[in-house]
Chains A and B, each alone.
Chain A
């Protein structure tokens, strides 16, 4: 069953997320060929940008400290999309769902200590053949009220 078009415009959030330097370093290790955590960690390899994990290098950078890698946004901005996909009102069969498309628009770097709030809205519900597209657009603001990232998340459901 395709998702009922009446849910277009349905909103999720805001969801709050407090950023720590440990979360950023864990994310960088996991995506950069290292090992996250504090028990048996290993740092990311040399292909990962040092300003996202090396405190000394970051301190000497124009940012004056660590900034999150852009796709760290996944950790906090995914929530409205995840909530929509598991929303009983939409009745999406998650076993038939894949993440089909992704877009991010970055406005301002995320830093340790930031307090972020993400809101999302269903912006497209479209049937194409036996596929159903569910698109959620998210906006994340920081503690200064400024937009840090916008995301467009598209799930494809096989009917």
Chain B
């Protein structure tokens, strides 16, 4: 398990996730978000998309998971925030890139981006903070 001394400003990390055709349905089942725009392609098309769109909170989970991977403990993440800027659709490949911007005491401050395969931001102003206590 990583220790506080293992975290340094300038560290980078990433997580890549592909939106396979069933992902919005799996996420609906596991999260309880059955909004038809996520499970019925007709409803998605009526709203102007190619089909269903992924739940924003699934993308948000990937953002959080990237941080957890870097922090090396799910319980170390104390804050995460982002704005949703573009819908994520089936077939998209989302790349989350994170950077440690500061280590202040036990606080590890992170800034992140989340972009699709066309380089468009699907999340913006993404920031997170970890707390790494010496055991």
Contact = CB atoms under 8 A, between A and B. Distances in A.
Nearest to B25: A30
Interface string B72-111: 1111011111111000000000000000000000000000
Given A29-B30, A32-B65, A62-B135, 18 more contacts: A26-B30, A27-B31, A30-B26, A30-B29, A33-B17, A48-B65, A49-B68, A49-B69, A49-B72, A51-B73, A69-B61, A70-B80, A71-B64, A95-B47, A99-B56, A102-B81, A104-B64, A104-B79
Interface in A80-132: 95, 98-107, 109
Interface of A: 23, 26-27, 29-33, 35-37, 47-49, 51-52, 61-63, 67-71, 74-75, 78, 95, 98-107, 109, 152
Contact of B80 (A31, A37, A61, A103): A103
Interface of B: 1, 15, 17, 22-23, 26-27, 29-33, 47, 56-58, 60-62, 64-65, 68-69, 72-75, 77-84, 135
A136 to B, nearest CB: 14
B117 to A, nearest CB: 17
Contacts, number: 111
A68 B74 contact: yes
Contacts of A29: 26, 30
B69 to A, nearest CB: 6
Contact of A26 (B29, B58, B61, B64): B29
Contacts of B61: 31, 69, 71, 74
A99 B80 contact: no
Nearest to B82: A102
B68 A106 contact: no
Contact of B82 (A33, A63, A101, A105): A101
Contacts of A62: 1, 73, 135
A31 B74 contact: no
B29 A47 contact: no
A98 to B, nearest CB: 7
